[in-house]
Structure 1
């Protein structure tokens, strides 16, 4: 049992650190996911929406701190209790998400109205690793195998603080696991770099001062500092389909080897006056007098393009391809002009003038209405036009309001938060 608890501490602690770090990298994206759950037609917790970013930061940072606590044997009773509570909550949430989607699919097949809105994924690993809700639920059930025994050992004070020798064992073994998941699965070396710095800080504080709380405070502060850096700039690692080097047009297409959806077609038809049912993959019955109805049932989902809903529209036409084929394009992105940062908007005039002087086409993208567009143009003396794009898409394109994306024939060459507009090169 001691060996099992050791393995449990390593798995849970390492996974909590990587999962928390991925979400700290993009807490704005995680807050958007929380807003999806808080919506009135999901969990009906709209009163929490104004606090979603604060909650996102707290959850991500606490996740890392709990990972550290269980690895180093700090405040075992409290840390294992919080870990179990978090795992029980997220297990329920992933079960709820997958059940909602299954019910929605069943209602669609039966032709019944489905009034709830379902969140497509829980955002457990942000955009770094997309899991189907059912996969996330099974993952959480698997982790409960380790967290439940940890809880019972923790509340009985059977997980003592590590000795120096045990610290080295847990740090080195955890780094191996973090490398396996963070680098080999996620593809992000920073998970290892950050963990080395985190462990070094925790080890030094733990062996220099007395008191678990000071050690955990050190882990909290370094995690919070990284989170703050990403909030004031852009995510250190961009896992989305709009990152630097990606081409919009290519990401809007499916590759030749893409998996196609597997769909059953259920035909109801008449032949020689007798009603029959026949199921195939789309060809239909060879002989029939009359097709009464046909229903479809997706057996296996097909691949979808990385970018599905990106458009650039005026009031009259779709200009997406026109702008994505432009040699030099600067897109100023504000998913909501009503919620945009005034300090950032005040810098756009100088940016646009500088870009235009170098031969760039400058446009704005927003989901706001025409009246607000004209108001903003007049307020900030902007001489470029704002075009329409879906709000959710714009939130995905860049985690800033406003943010700037520079394209060369649809390929992203630069992307900056409004805080770093001066870093753009034209």
Structure 2
């Protein structure tokens, strides 16, 4: 789905709601204002819902933003602000849930007309906040590597590769938007935001005051419980990410790699290292003039066509064992069932492991994987790079006699929204995956997935 298609659907919903408001509820003060209320409310409801499906995804996106802000402010006169962002990152999940619930509540509040003045200010404030956020991210596309955002004189031509945060996360993983697209979307939303501020007294209001408030509070409680069910007690029921159940990781990765290898060089972008002069040449122009752009004096970058298949995190599915080898080659080719325990971060360190986290491994994970090993099935754990001493001690603490492979933490977060979580693979395909607290017994898994008992 594209943003245009989504906005068409939201517009249709807004027109239907406005028809009900006008003809059924007889609220005829301002047809245009009612339409704006319903459109903005429906957009916020949908945006909040798709993020409530996966609150951890929004939290991870916030962590990316916080990291970018920290590095941006670190080398400036405002360096004292930088330490605030790692501290905020520690509460990214709480921020995520709060923002999602607030967005859903505001969406319904606009549609039913609850607390018009407060709702107008909150709507405007959130849109203004995200306009600044997406605007900053979009503008980093003009900031070359090694240049601080606030060194405006050193900005160069826009390049997507300059941005550290490549999508805004506005619609979670359901719809990826480039920061530039999201920035202009947020600017457009400022229009109804301003209108609501000055016309809050004319906004339509449905039902009684008590009914409106009960509906908004009710949807807030429901969205809070729904969001928590998708990361505290279970993994998301709807998976919009590349590693969803049924995905043929081996085939998809090969197809993405082939597409990346078959792109066409369209031209070259050059920047003079001394003067900052920039030039862009077509492939033929560069072949004719390359002697005028020696690499000792120019930074040269190829301009390539878009790959036939867009790369996903599946392209990054690479790991390293304790000898530095990549076990994913054999894993994706294996015709045997393999139980993978995915933990993007081991919580703690030698002598200071979090007790509750160890219990998750010992009580939820260990009985299942031990039974799987007893039946001759393969078991391995995947985590982000850690000191080998830490990994060895952690394995001893949880009684793990299977290998621990290390890889990119963002890739691991994409695979499953549980730490730890379990993924079952066979023939390079994801057969199933579970939150550690919802992991069935081995016998139940064997019966459902037709695992052979040996």
TM-score (norm 1): 0.78
Q: CA deviation at 1:304?
A: 3.9
Structure 1 residue 150, shift from structure 2 partner: 2.1
Distance change in 2, residues 1:13/1:343 (3 Å): same
TM-aligned CA deviation for residue 47 of structure 1: 2.0
**Shift in alpha-carbon separation, 1:236–1:289, aligned structure 2, 3 A:** closer
Q: Does 1:387 align with 2:393?
A: no
Kept after mapping to 2: 8 A contact 1:42/1:118: no
**1:211 offset after TM fit, Å?**
5.9
Aligned partner (choices 350, 364, 370) of residue 353 of structure 1:
370
1:237 CA drift (Å): 0.9
Q: 195, 211, 216: which is aligned to 1:149? A: 195
- 1:244 is matched with 245
In structure 2, the gaps of 5 or more residues are 1-28, 74-81, 148-153, 272-278, 349-353, 447-454
Name the structure 2 match of 1:314: 321
Q: TM-score, normalised by structure 2?
A: 0.74
Which secondary structure does the structure 1 equivalent of 2:330 belong to? helix
Name the SS for the 2:319 alignment partner.
coil
Aligned counterpart, 2:449: none
Q: Is the 8 A contact 2:267 2:283 kept in 1?
A: yes
2:294 paired residue number: 292
Distance 2:381 2:409 in 1: 13
Classify 1:210/1:133 alpha carbon distance in 2 versus 1 (closer, same or farther; 3 Å): closer
Structure 1 alignment gaps of length 5 or more: 164-205, 269-276
Equivalent residue of 2:236, what SS? coil
Q: Which residue of 2 aligns with 1:225?
A: 225
The alignment status of 1:76 with 2:116, answered yes or no, reads: yes
- Are the counterparts in 2 of residues 26 and 235 from structure 1 also a CA contact under 8 Å? yes
2:383 is aligned to 366
Q: 2:95 aligns with which of 35, 39, 55?
A: 55
CA RMSD of aligned residues (A): 3.0
Q: CA deviation at 1:348?
A: 2.3
Offset of 1:404 from its aligned partner? 0.4
- CA 1:14–1:262 in structure 2 vs 1: closer, same or farther (change >3 Å)? farther
Alignment of 1:109-148 (within 5 A): 118-148=164-194
- 1:99 and 1:109 map into 2 onto residues whose CA distance is 9
Give the total of aligned pairs.
Answer: 368
Q: Aligned partners of 2:126 and 2:137: how far apart in 1? A: 16
CA–CA separation in structure 1 for the residues paired with 2:215 and 2:32: 26
Identify if the C-alpha distance between structure 1 residues 152 and 289 changes in structure 2 by more than 3 Å, giving closer, same or farther.
closer
Alpha-carbon distance in structure 1 between the residues aligned to 2:48 and 2:240: 15
